[in-house]
Chains A and B, each alone.
Chain A
Amino acid sequence: MKSIEAKVVVLGSQGVGKTSVVIRYVGGMFSKAVSPTIGASFFTYKMTLDGYRVKLQVWDTAGQERFRSMAPMYYRKANAAMLVYDITSLESFYDIKDWVKELKKNVDTPIVMCLLGNKADLDSGRKVPTEEAAEYAASIEALFFETSALKNTGIEDAFLQVSKQLIKLYETYPNSGLGILSPQQESTDIFSPQTTNVKLPSRTEAERPPQSDGCGC
C-alpha cells in the first residue's frame, strides 16, 4: 500500500472555531471552553483511503492578529489549506479573501484549498449566504463545506474530500512534496519524512535506541 503524508494548515480569523473543528475531527469531541491558540498546535490524523495510507499533519494556527506575521512559517510547504470562517461574521468571510491572496502569492507548490463555513448550527444569526460562499469557493477552485463543530456536521466529510484531493494531487504530481514513504519505514518514526533533509551529524548518535544511554545516576 502506498503512503501519503500531507501537511494541512488551518487558517482563519480568531474565534471562528479552527481549534474546535480540528479537535472535533482528530479528537472526536467538542468543548465549549476552547482557549485561544497560542502560536500553532500540531495534530496528526491517520486514515486509509482508496488504497492509500494517508497521514495528515494538521497545523492549527492562532487567529490572533499578532500571529498573522508568523503564518508563512506554518503554510510554507503545506499541501492543503483549510480556510475557516464563521457564517455569522461577514468580516471573517472577507478575511478569507486575504488569506487566499496571500497563499496564491507565497505558495508555489500545488495546494488543495477547502473553504469551511463553521458554526452552521447558528443559522438564525447567519450573515454569510451559502450561495455566496459556494460561488466564491468555486471561483478559487476550492472545496466548500458548511460545518458545525458543535453538532459534528460537515467536518468528517471536509477532511475526507481534502484527503481524496490530496491523493489525486499526488497522482498528478508525484513530486509535489507530499511525503511518501514505504510502509516499513513509517513504523519506525512518524516524523522522519519531514526531518530527513535537515538531519544533522550529531543527530545520528542521539537517535540510537535508548538502551545505549548510560544511566545518569
Chain B
Amino acid sequence: MAASGEADQPREVEFEQPNISSDSDQGDFNESEAPGKSENAPLLASDSFDDLSYNDLGVNDHQTVHRGTIHAIVRQTSTSSDSRSNTPNNVDHDSLEVSAGEESLEESAESQMQNVSIADKQEAVELAAPPFSSDDEDVNSPEWKNQKKHVFILSESGKPVYSRHGNEDKLVTIMGVMQALVSFVQDSKDSLRSVVAGEHKFVFLVRDHLLLVGVTRGMDSTQQMLLQLMYVYNQVISVLTHSALGKIFKQRRNYDLRRLLTGAEKFFDNLLNLIDTEPGLLLTAVRCLPLDSQVRDVIAQSIVQNAKVKDLVFALIIAKNQLVTLVRMKKYYLHPMDLHLIINLVNASESFKEAESWTPICLPKFDASGFLQAHVSYLDEDCQVCLLLLSVDRDSFFTLSEAKDRIRARLVRYNALSAINSSLRRTSYSTQQCAISDLRHFLYKARSTAQYTSPELEAPYTKPEEQERLFGLYHYLHHRIHTSGRPLKILFHVGQYETLLGWVTQGFELYAVFGPLITKTGAIHAVNRLLRWIKREEDRLFILNSVTF
C-alpha cells in the first residue's frame, strides 16, 4: 500500500508560492538568521546540486577544485625542507615516459598500471566470448526487472564495468544497447540526457572514458539521478584516479576495467545504499555527531597538537557515518562529496577493523589526478570511532601511527572518547525535543558550512517501507524546489498522509514534514520556531569553527 500511495502523492492538492520577488508574501518568515552559519567552516560550502547542469558535464575534463593540489603541496613542502629532496612522492602525472630504475614511486606505480593495460590480451578475449548460458539471462528475470533502481557503468566502447544488480557478464547485450543509444545521439552532435518510459526514468551521464546510466522508478528526479551518477563516477576516480583512468583507456580503448576494480564493487554497492538512505548525499552536506562544543574543541586540539606532521593534509574522525571533527591544512578544504566518499570507504571496509591500515585514496574534488595516503585506524575497541589521517607523503605511516597513539591517549585522558561513545549510544535527538507539535521530521542544511542536521526517524517512520516513502517525499520536495526551469523559494504541499514545507534561502535549506492537518500559517509558525530551536542548538549540531594545523 505504501508504494502506491507514494505514486499518488503528487496528485494531491498543492499550494505553492513560486519565486516571489516582493517580500510582502513572506512576512511571516524571518529570514535574518540562518542557524549553523559560519564563515569559517571546515568543509567547502557547496551547492553541487545547483551547479549540476548538463552544460558543464561531458564536454570538459573532470572538474576538480584544485587540480594538481597534491603536486602543489608536495612541491611546497619539498622546497621548505631540502633535506629530503628526493622524496618518493614526486607526483608527476603528466609525463608518460616510463623510466625503469626511476626513484619516484609514483612513476613506477604508473608504469605498472601501463603494463597491466598492455599485458592481458587473453582476458579481453575471454570476455568477448558470449558469456550467457542461453536461457537464464538475467535481463529476463522478473526479480531483476523489478529492482527499484539500477545503476550501470560501462566503458566508452560499451564494455560492462559495473551493474548494481545482476552479473555484468549477463548484461553485455543491454549495455551494448545503452552505448549504442548514446553514441547514436552523439553522432548528430547532440547528447542523450534522459528517457522516460512509463514509470521508469533512464538517465545518462557521459564522462571521460565512462558512460553511466541510472534507471529508477522511484521519486528521484532526473537531476537527482544525475547527482547520484556523479557520486558513482567520483567513486571510480577515488579508486583509480582520473589520470590512471585516462591512461588505461588511451592505451587500450576496450580494456576491461573490472580487472582493476575487483574488490571495489562493494564500494559502489555501499555507496548506492547510502544514496538511498542518507539525506546527506542528496543535500551534498555532512551530518555531524552531536557533541558539546567544548568536547569537540578538545578533540580538535588533541589532533592539532599531536599530529603536527609535515604533509598531513586532513585529519578527521568519523563515527557511524557522522563527522566528529575535521582538521585541515591551511588553504585546503574538504568538499562534502569527497567526505562522503571517505565515509563510504570506512563504512564499506571491514578490514580496517583488524589492524591499522595504510591505503591510497583519491579525492576527486580535491585533486582527481593523484592519490592521498590514508592512515586508517579505529580508536575504540568496538570499532565505531574511526580516525583518518590523509597525507601526501607515502612514507609517513610510522609517523602517523605514532601521532595516532598520542591522539588516542589524549582523547582517553580527557574523556573525549567516552563522550563520543555516549553520544553514539544516545542516538541523535528526537523531533519532540524541538517541542513543535505536529512536526514529524525535518532536514536542515546550513549552506555556508555544507552540514545538515535531522532528528531520528520515529513513528510513523519506523518501518523500512515508511522510511523509504519519507525519503521519496524529501526527494520530491527537493526536486520541486530546485527544479532548474522554475526554482522555488518556498513550497507548501498538502499530501495524502502528510504536509510538506520546503524553504530555501541564501543561508539554509529546510525541508519539514508535518501531520496532514496542519494549516499553512501553522506550518510557517512551526518552522520559525524550529529555526530558533536549531539556532539554540547550533553549537552542538554543527562544526562552526574550522581548525587548521
Say how far A25's CB is from chain B's closest CB, in angstroms: 13
State whether A66 and B240 are in contact (beta carbons under 8 Å apart), knowing that A42-B358, A191-B401, A198-B84 are contacts in the complex: yes
A206-B351 contact, Cβ under 8 Å, with A191-B398, A195-B402, A217-B297: no
B98, chain A: closest CB distance, angstroms = 12
- Whether A65 contacts B298 by the Cβ 8 Å rule is no
Shortest C-beta distance, B68 to chain A (Å), equals 20
Asked if A68 and B112 make an inter-chain contact with CB atoms under 8 angstroms apart, the answer reads: yes
A62 within 8 A of partner (CB): yes
A23, B355: Cα distance in complex, Å: 10
Question: Which of A23, A43, A194 is packed against the most chain B CB atoms within 10 Å?
Answer: A194
Q: Say whether B354 faces chain A, with CB atoms less than 8 Å apart.
A: yes
Is A195 a contact of B298 with CB atoms below 8 Å?
no
- Indicate if the CB atoms of B402 and A189 lie closer than 8 Å: yes
Asked if B273 CB lies within 8 Å of chain A CBs, one says no
Asked whether B113 lies within 8 Å of A210 as measured between CB atoms, the reply is no
A14 & B357 in contact (Cβ 8 Å cutoff): no
Q: Do A217 and B294 contact each other (CB < 8 Å), given the known contacts A39-B374, A69-B110, A195-B399?
A: yes
Q: Is the CB of A42 within 8 A of B305?
A: no
Whether A69 contacts B113 in the complex (CB less than 8 A), given A41-B354, A202-B310, A205-B308, comes out as: yes
A203 touches B309 (CB 8 A): yes
**Which of B260, B306, B352, B355 has the most chain A CB atoms closer than 10 A to its own CB?**
B355
Known contacts: A210-B406, A216-B297, A216-B302. The answer to whether A23 contacts B354 by CB under 8 A is yes
Interface pair A203/B308, CB less than 8 Å apart: yes
Asked if A73 and B355 make an inter-chain contact with CB atoms under 8 angstroms apart, the answer reads no
Contact assessment for A39 and B359 in the assembled complex, using a CB-CB cutoff below 8 Å: yes
**Distance (Å) between the CB of A189 and the closest chain B CB?**
7
A34 to B355, CA, bound (A): 12
For B409, the chain A residues whose CB sits under 8 A away are 210
> A191-217 interface mask toward B, CB cutoff 8 Å, 1 = contact, 0 = none?
100110010101101100010010111
A35, CB-defined interface residue at 8 Å? yes
Most chain-B Cβ atoms within 10 A of its Cβ — which of A14, A200, A215? A200
Q: Does B264 contact A (CB under 8 A)?
A: yes
CA distance A40 to B354 in the complex (A): 11
State in angstroms the CA–CA spacing of A206 and B309 once bound together.
Answer: 9
> B263 an interface residue at 8 Å Cβ cutoff?
yes
Q: From residue A34, how far is it (CB to closest CB) to chain B in Å? A: 8
Q: How far, in angstroms, from A163 to B548 measured CA to CA in the complex?
A: 44
Task: Report how far A217 CA is from B345 CA in the complex, Å.
Answer: 32
How many angstroms between the C-alpha atoms of A65 and B116 in the bound complex? 9
- With A64-B262, A64-B263, A66-B260 known as contacts, the answer to whether A40 contacts B358 (CB < 8 A) is yes
With a cutoff of 8 Å between Cβ atoms, the chain A residues found around residue B357 in the complex are: 37-42
B33 in contact (CB, < 8 A)? no
Interface: A19 (CB within 8 A): yes
Query: How many angstroms between the C-alpha atoms of A154 and B92 in the bound complex?
Result: 44
Q: Mark B350-390, 1 if CB is under 8 A from A, else 0.
A: 11101111111000000000000010100000000000000
Is B349 part of the binding interface, using a Cβ–Cβ cutoff of 8 Å?
A: yes
**Contact mask A17-42 → B, CB, 8 Å, 1/0?**
00100010000000001111111111
Let me know if A72 and B109 touch, CB within 8 A: yes
Known: A19-B351, A36-B351, A210-B410. A65 touches B262 (CB 8 A): yes
Pairwise interchain contact A200-B310, C-beta atoms closer than 8 A: yes
Q: How far is the CB of A210 from chain B (nearest CB, A)?
A: 6
Q: Does A60 contact B (CB under 8 A)?
A: yes
Contacting residues, chain B, for A69 (C-beta < 8 A): 108-110, 112-113, 116
In the assembled complex, the Cα of A69 lies from the Cα of B243 at a distance in Å of: 14
| A90 proximal to B (CB < 8 A) | no
Whether B316 sits at the interface, judged by CB under 8 Å, is no
Evaluate contact between B116 and A68: CB separation under 8 angstroms: yes
Partner of B398, one of A64, A76, A194: A194
User: Which residue of chain A is the closest to B299 with respect to CB atoms?
Assistant: A216
Residues on A with C-beta less than 8 A from B354 are 19, 23, 34, 41
What is the bound-complex CA distance between A43 and B301, given in angstroms?
Answer: 28
A65–B260 CB distance below 8 A: yes
- Does residue A70 face the partner (Cβ distance < 8 Å to B)? yes
| Interface residue? B497 (CB, 8 A) | no
| CB-CB nearest in chain A for B100 | A105
* Cα(A72)–Cα(B105), bound, Å: 7
In the bound complex, CA of A73 to CA of B371 (Å):
13
Residue of A nearest to B302 (CB): A216
Q: How far is the CA of A37 from the CA of B358 in the complex (A)?
A: 10
Besides the known contacts A33-B350, A191-B402, 12 further A-B residue pairs in the complex with CB atoms under 8 A apart: A23-B354, A34-B351, A38-B359, A41-B354, A41-B355, A42-B356, A65-B116, A66-B240, A66-B260, A195-B399, A205-B308, A217-B294
B residues contacting A by CB (< 8 A) are 81, 84, 105, 108-110, 112-113, 116, 239-240, 259-264, 294, 297-298, 300-302, 305-310, 345, 349-352, 354-360, 374, 376, 394-399, 401-403, 406, 409-410, 413-414
For this complex, 30 residue pairs linking A to B, each with C-beta atoms less than 8 Å apart, are: A33-B350, A34-B351, A34-B354, A35-B350, A36-B351, A38-B357, A38-B376, A39-B357, A41-B351, A41-B354, A42-B397, A62-B359, A65-B263, A66-B260, A66-B261, A68-B112, A69-B113, A69-B116, A70-B109, A70-B360, A106-B108, A191-B401, A198-B395, A206-B305, A206-B307, A210-B409, A215-B414, A216-B297, A216-B300, A216-B302
Q: Which residues of A contact B (CB under 8 A)?
A: 14, 19, 23, 33-43, 60, 62, 64-70, 72-73, 76, 106, 189, 191, 194-195, 198, 200, 202-203, 205-206, 210, 213, 215-217
